[in-house]
Structure 1
Amino acid sequence: MKSVQVNIKKIIASAMVATITLGSILGFSIYKKNSNPSIEEVSKKIIRFHVIANSDDENDQAVKLKVRDNVLKYISPKLKDSKSIGESREILKKEDKEILDIAQNTLKENGYNYKLQSTLSNEYFPVKTYGNITLPQGKYEAYRIIIGNGEGQNWWCVMFPPLCFVDVEQGKVAYQETEKEMKEVLDDKEYDMVNNLKNNPTSDKIIDNTQQNDIVIKSKAVETIKEIIKK
């Protein structure tokens, strides 16, 4: 009889442990859902565009901007109405050869014979600001044109959503246009994280998953029930 009572006690205790554990997991999931977005959540919705100069020499930097202008003039009409990151990615892959030809011709017209290469890949970038958008350091998908040795400062913008095509000639990005385009792909919390016009510092809103320790969920109730089972 005593053995039966002990077994019933263990079954009840086990059921309670399972219930509390499930509740903890669900509660943690809700917490994660409502917490601030991570860098990865933002970066997977964006394609950056970088033109990297041969060097920081004044002439190399000047021709870099000419390459930028001619490439954007060509690719802008093809990307500006893209509705998804996947669509933009496929356009860039399809137009890659033509883009390189335009960049190479620009170099030749200005008296340069630098080699050129392009990549569409995930790369690590430091913190970068473009208009009112500040992207935190981390890995982002980027279409890059690398001129010559690629050792100079780069010019960059966001290709999807298509921020590159707003006031390019003046080197400015209109806040209203930036907000409109970014909110097409980012939710409110994600947009707040990269919008440097917010009162709160952007760095306070960043969660870098690579730096977080594993979380161990402990419950006093669970520990108590475990003690009951041992008895």
Structure 2
Amino acid sequence: MHMGREYYYGSKIRQVVCLIFGIFVAALLTGSCVERGIERVEAKMEHTQKTLAKEVLRFHVLANSDSEEDQAVKMKVRDAVLVYMEESMGQELGDEPDAEETKEWVRSHLHELEDVADQTVADEGYSYQSRAEVEVSYFPDKQYGDVFFPQGEYEALKIRLGDARGHNWWCVLYPSLCFTDTACTVVSDEGKQGLKEVLTAEEYEMVTATSDFKIKWFFFGDGAKEE
């Protein structure tokens, strides 16, 4: 009886040890799968960012300071520059310029854009000047309505007002995703169509789908099948 009891308890202990070991191995495998999944998503998003960076032009306005007055001037400049660009670019390039045409137009009209900004600042009763440049800058993750732009370096039209030490504002000039309000809740169909034309279907899905859908798409869609 004594030996039988020892065998019984020894068997139970081995089962428990095996169960714990199995759970441990499963946890390791699951953790490894999740880590690989995250790495794949990050790699795909990085590739999408590089594609976007070649095809978009962002717009960046830096306020003179964080005072309420300077921040208000920044938004006035934003509105005036967008209106000027829409009218002038439309007259010179037509309704559907591509990315390179848009960038070239902006580079060749920097002085005019500065004039628009300076006049707006003067109309608001201030004397500081603006500086307009096209340069490559790092941007953090940004949500434009229901479109997501991953962090990375992008070419941008930058207008610095005065000391340019205040909070900034930005949008995407091409394709047109700029808003003239602060809500930024809806991207126009025209803007989305512009994105569709420069991204693959998979990339477009990644920047327009919700986070939950992206995760599900990776683990259960085509992304899960890749090696």
- Normalised TM-score (structure 2): 0.66
C-alpha distance 199-90 of structure 1, shift in aligned 2 (>3 A): same
CA distance in 1, matches of 2:209, 2:99: 23
**Residue 110 of structure 1: how far off its partner (Å):** 0.5
Paired residues of 1:48 and 1:160 also in contact (CA < 8 A): yes
Give the match for residue 190 of structure 1: 203
CA distance in 1, matches of 2:153, 2:74: 24
Moved more, 107-116 or 72-81: 72-81
1:170-207 superposed Cα distances (whole Å, 9 cap, x missing partner): 754335343223212222222223225463358x98xx
Give the match for residue 73 of structure 2: 63
1:163 aligns with 2:177: yes
The root-mean-square deviation of aligned C-alpha atoms, in Å, is 2.6
1:50 aligns with 2:60: yes
Paired residues of 2:177 and 2:188 also in contact (CA < 8 A): no
**Residue 56 of structure 1: how far off its partner (Å):** 1.6
Aligned residues: 169
CA distance in 2, matches of 1:201, 1:55: 38
CA distance in 1, matches of 2:119, 2:137: 27
Give the match for residue 121 of structure 2: 107
Give the match for residue 44 of structure 2: 36
CA distance in 1, matches of 2:199, 2:114: 30
1:122 aligns with 2:136: yes
CA distance in 2, matches of 1:196, 1:58: 36
CA distance in 1, matches of 2:182, 2:142: 19
Structure with greater helix percent: 2
**Residue 168 of structure 1: how far off its partner (Å):** 2.5
**Residue 132 of structure 1: how far off its partner (Å):** 1.4
C-alpha distance 197-58 of structure 1, shift in aligned 2 (>3 A): same
Aligned with 1:184: secondary structure? helix
Counterparts of 1:78-89 in structure 2 under 5 Å?
78=89, 81-89=95-103
Give the match for residue 11 of structure 1: none
1:75 aligns with 2:85: yes
**Residue 150 of structure 1: how far off its partner (Å):** 1.3
1:77-127 superposed Cα distances (whole Å, 9 cap, x missing partner): 316724321100111012211111010000001011112111101111111
Identity of aligned residues (%): 38
Structure 1: gaps spanning 5 or more residues = 1-31, 206-231
Structure 2: gaps spanning 5 or more residues = 1-39, 219-227
CA distance in 2, matches of 1:76, 1:100: 16
CA distance in 2, matches of 1:41, 1:106: 35
Give the match for residue 214 of structure 1: none
CA distance in 2, matches of 1:81, 1:51: 24
Paired residues of 1:125 and 1:139 also in contact (CA < 8 A): yes
C-alpha distance 102-47 of structure 1, shift in aligned 2 (>3 A): same
Aligned with 2:44: secondary structure? coil
Structure scoring higher RCO (CA < 8 A, sep ≥ 6) equals: 1
- The residue type equivalent to 1:161 in the other structure is P
- Normalised TM-score (structure 1): 0.65
1:93 aligns with 2:107: yes
